[in-house]
Structure 1
Amino acid sequence: MEKNYKLSKWLNGEMTKTELNEFQSQEDFAIYEKIKKYSSELEIETDKNNEEEMLDKVISSKIKLNKTKPLYKNWYLKIAAVLVIGFGLFLGLEAFSEITEIAINGKQNVFSLPDNSEVVMNSGSKIEYSKWNWYNKRQLNLSGEAYFKVAKGKKFTVNTNSGKVTVLGTQFNVKSRNKRFDVTCYEGKVRVKSTKNEVILLKGQTVSFENNKMIINQSVTENKPLWTLNEMKFEKEKFKNLIQEIEIQYNISLKTYDFKSEQLFTGTIPTDNIDITLQIIASNYHLKIKKINENSFELVTSR
């Protein structure tokens, strides 16, 4: 009640100079002053009998004003919270999401992994990997062919349908198509594991498996895959696989109909000149070339 009494004296202008100085020094004085200002603009009939009731209402209103937060601040806080949560979810999903790299037919794809290991993908290939925990578990899934320059670090594994390759830091090429699995080491050392076999390759060595059977284990003289230099090198390749690889590299259709051959192809053909490529195939298998359109050809027997 003492506060109400002082407030009443202030409103009625009955305070002494000392009392007024003390009252103005209070923390709530600015609020009282605003209330007095707005109250003076209202036409309210009052008397001494309800003065105490009015003062109680004024103090009650002052307390409510202190506890009320501006609406716009609430909205800003809510929007900020939504943005922070949304950004956090985005970063989390990106970290856990599966990354897919594709090299379409007729094109190559070059990219870097999270540890700056370099990958060159050959045409018609796909790689899948996850950024999550990459530095502790460096592994990816390959379908097709790719050349890797692996940065030093923990074990690096390439998984394919026909087997897997494990290294620590080196340069190597992996190809997996049609149940055939080819691996060549250009630097360092790699461990190659198929379903039934396991072999360690050193620099300049290559190995090939078909249907889980080792068909090639020899040395190479190149210091990088020839397909990165617009050439394809084949060792004991089946005719159907040879035709499919040409279709992938040039993004064309080669119709061979019912032609079959048990003759295995060993040699090099270009990937930037379709005319020369088809002439090499036609000469080796005694076929004639018929052009249907820019992207389709027929290979028919010449006998």
Structure 2
Amino acid sequence: MEEDYKLAKWLNNELSEDELVEFKKDSDYELLHKIKENSAFLSTPSFDENRILQNVLKSKKDSKVISLQNWFVRIAAIFVIGLGLYFGTQTILTTTQSAEIGNKANFLLPDNSEVALNSDSEIEFKKWNWENNRTLDLKGEAYFKVAKGKTFEVNTSLGKVTVLGTQFNVKARNNRFDVTCFEGKVKVKYKSQEIILTKGELISFENNQKIVAKNILDIQPSWINKEVSFEKENLVNVLLEIERQYNITFNYKNIETNQLFTGKIPTDNIDVALQIISASYHFEIQKDSTKSYIISTNK
């Protein structure tokens, strides 16, 4: 009987040193060891092995008891480990949604909250146990329409936004953190500061300072309607955003990129976008190749 339950004893760490040495000689040991190692920290639904085993044994002849016990224990052990891997994987694995350069993406979270990703942005979250862990990580810019429910959190490398059933936009790029509330309330945490925004309020931080705090009339982000809005934005950030939207590159020649820009740039007409930049700063913009432009001072 002890030999029949060797696998079960091994799973429970009950083998003696001699038994463990013998068990490791089994051809399936390496596979079993990897499964056990990866599932050690996982939780699985309860499984009454003894009750099921007794029911099976009662329906079989005495001459087959030893064989059934041996096979059943092996199958049950693998089944339990498999369940552990499945449920653990659902807990550990992260779902990633992204929008490539020059594109946008829309998707639903597990609670049917709507998310729109701007160009060159990414969101990560875990589907498992979402109702108790409504948190996601954002790189870039996204617009959220949050379904009614518990607290919803968006983490970025620059700050965190906490909301409840609302609509808001978050942008975290190049040391600049922008949050706009379009409906409801949001709590913005940046460094040691915490600020509550209500409908129609926008706030921006850059390099540890609050640089913009104003009211707006927009009902959703302008980039949803093929425009990008800037408020006291460093010119280099504006040029980088144009590069993302049109999947192009700029080469600068003797220009000051720390100048500020306030206004809107279309994301569906490259010629108009370049004309706005050229006219605003008296630049000369020439096409260098299919996806490359040279910007120089127009003297």
Q: TM-score, normalised by structure 1?
A: 0.72
Contact 1:96/1:131, CA 8 A, preserved across alignment: no
2:116 partner letter: V
User: How do 1:13-162 and structure 2 match up within 5 A?
Assistant: 67-68=63-64, 82=78, 85-86=81-82, 89-162=85-158
Q: What letter corresponds to residue 214 of structure 1 in structure 2?
A: K
- Matched residues, percent identical? 53
Instruction: Give how far 1:112 is off.
Output: 1.1
Per the TM alignment, residue 135 of structure 1 is displaced from its structure 2 partner at its CA by 1.0
User: Corresponding residue for 2:52?
Assistant: none
1:260 aligns with 2:256: yes
Aligned to 1:172: 168
TM-score (norm: length of structure 2): 0.73
CA distance 1:110–1:77, change in 2 (3 Å): farther
Deviation at 1:76, TM superposition (A): 10
Q: Which of 180, 196, 201 is residue 197 of structure 2 equivalent to?
A: 201
Q: Secondary structure at the match of 2:132?
A: coil
CA contact (8 A) 1:197 1:212 kept: no
Q: Which amino acid aligns with 1:276?
A: V
Gaps of 5+ in 1: 1-64
* Alignment correspondent of 1:235: 231
How many equivalent pairs are there? 239
Bigger mean CA deviation after superposition, 77-86 or 188-197: 77-86
Is 1:186 paired with 2:171? no
In the alignment, the residues of structure 1 paired with residue 159 and residue 274 of structure 2 have an alpha-carbon distance, to the nearest angstrom, of 32
C-alpha distance in structure 1 between counterparts of 2:271 and 2:75, whole Å: 63
- Give 2:270's aligned amino acid: I
Task: Provide the aligned C-alpha RMSD in A.
Answer: 2.4
Residues 81 and 256 (structure 1 numbering): CA distance in 2 closer, same or farther, change over 3 Å? same
1:81, distance to aligned residue in structure 2 (A): 7.3
Aligned to 1:13: none
Displacement of 1:140: 1.1
Tell me, what secondary structure is at the counterpart of 1:135? helix
Largest Rg, 1 or 2: 1
Correspondence for 2:277: 281
Kept in 2, the 8 Å contact 1:125–1:142? The answer is: yes
8 A contact 2:236–2:258 mirrored in 1: no
Residue 221 in structure 1 maps to residue 217 in structure 2? yes
Unaligned runs of 5+ in 2: 1-60
